[in-house]
Amino acid sequence: MSDTNLFELSIAEAGRKLRDGSITSLALTEDALSRIAAIDPALDSFITVTAERARADATAADANFSKGIDNGPMQGVPYALKDIYDTAGIRSTCHSKLRLDNVPAADSVVETKFKAQGGVLLGKLATHEFALGGPSFDLPFPPARNPWNREHIPGGSSSGSGAAVAAGLVRMAMGSDTGGSIRGPAAYCGTVGLKPTYGLVSRRGVFPLSTTLDHCGPLSWTVEDSAIALQTIAGYDALDPASVDVPIPDYLDGLGQGVEGLRIGLPRHFFAKAQDVSPEVVAAIDRAAETLEKLGAVVDEITLPDYDLFNACGRIIMYTEAYAIHEQDYQKRPLDFGRLTYLRMTLGAFVTGADIQQAMRLRRELSRAVNLKLKNCDALITASALAPAPAFADIDPNSSPNWPVQTMPFNVTGNPAMSVPTGFSASGLPLSMQIVGRAFDESMVLRIGAALESATGLSARRPALARG
């Protein structure tokens, strides 16, 4: 295998080759660094490339392999982090002027777990400012661009994570998801994006946006790679107040079991007649449902409460909590925020106690409605994004962007949800849907995603990118 296609190896494939000695971690790392240098100037997915750290990590991993030491599936495998994850001795900027000089003294829990396995940190990735305001051109770093067409957005707020994975700069990147910020970039960039159940992955050391809605999770090219990443990071953290102490299964166990006999709910009314929905998205989800039926699943149409109720509930909570987190800087350093961040946080300043109480009450009702459907279904499938990625030119710089995604419902309920590719638009941009499971049943979500991925072969299609 030549160095020019090392980037195409999945985590699982690279792991096998690392362990049989046919490749080295240093070779994978040098290939990734070379690819970043050649391609990323056109994509702006990285804020900080940690080349020296990456080479040291790779050298240490190779030394351990030579001694027969194996610390886990991420050993020797390059990865990257959204730039809201704390990294000891490496700046963590949140893509904001307010944190340009922030160098944490300690790692986030997620980074600690990757480091313990011997993963190779390539760097920190672009986001929207504080995972809220973007895409913006008035920040210290430019917004990331979509590798399928750089004139289009890669989604937000885990924009750099989606772009870097889609471009093959890294096999897996960590994102965060408060209203869809893992699944949105995955949908627009044609990757897998997994939002785990609320409380499954520690958020300690990750800059918060909305403490009752925030989730940490991976973006990757394959479902299997997301399962490997989740296996690495899932687990109880007594110092994260939201963390839940539940048994962690082997997430790889069910990936080959197929969907024979499973019952899957399809709330088609959610998206099929939504404002701004693309007929291509609807047709692609219908094809995916037909594929699952051909594989032996039963797909039944179901109804859920109106999407607008989920969206309003989640946004009231998100903006209120975001304002509470940033209130001091908002009052003392307002001009240091990007315009979109400031506008969005301003909404939270005007929410009343009665508003937030009503939102919390509605949240319980909406969660109950979703979980009642999941008593009779093994999982649900629905839209992630309602249309392909919009162009930067189509976004009004004078108003807060509101591109059509339908990811907020499962931040409100906390259920696991994963965006997976379903095809491509006539313009060549990715299409997607999300798979939603019962609380802490990521194994079922991954199982269904793996079956669909195997049947469609979409993970093999990658954007055409020039390399230096």
Predicted confidence (pLDDT) per residue in 254-310, tens digit: 999 999 999 999 999 999 999 999 999 999 999 999 999 999 999 999 999 999 999
- Per the CB < 8 A criterion, the answer to whether 378 and 263 are in contact is yes
pLDDT of residue 466: 57
Any alpha helices (H) in 23-128, and if so which ranges?
25-39, 51-66, 109-117
**Which two structure tokens, joined as six digits, stand for 241?**
């107040």
> Above pLDDT 70, what percent of the chain?
97
- Average pLDDT (394-407) is 79
The residues that are catalytic are 82, 157, 181
Strand order in the sheet with 417-424: 46-49, 120-125, 78-82, 172-177, 215-220, 192-195, 417-424, 430-436, 379-382, 263-266, 298-301
Question: Based on the number of CB atoms within 10 Å of its own CB, is 340 exposed (0-12), middle (13-18) or buried (19 or more)?
Answer: buried
Please name the amino acid found at residue 234. Answer: A
Kindly state the tokens that stand for 295.
């594989």
pLDDT in the model for residue 61: 98
Confidence band for 467, pLDDT divided at 50, 70 and 90 = low
- State the chain's mean pLDDT as an integer: 96
pLDDT in tens, 60-103: 999 999 999 999 999 999 999 999 999 999 999 999 999 999 99
Question: What pLDDT is attached to residue 3?
Answer: 43
Q: Is 241 helix (H, G, I), strand (E, B) or coil?
A: coil
Distance CA 309, CA 312 (A): 5
Per-residue pLDDT of 402-441, as tens digits, reads 678 999 999 999 999 999 999 999 999 999 999 999 999 9
pLDDT of residue 391: 96
Domains and CATH numbers, the chain: 3-460 (3.90.1300.10)
Q: How confident is the model at residue 468 (pLDDT cuts 50, 70, 90)?
A: very low
Q: What is the pLDDT of residue 65?
A: 98
Phi, psi of 26 (to 5 degrees): -65, -35
Across the range 48-62, mean pLDDT stands at 98
- pLDDT average, residue stretch 197-226: 98
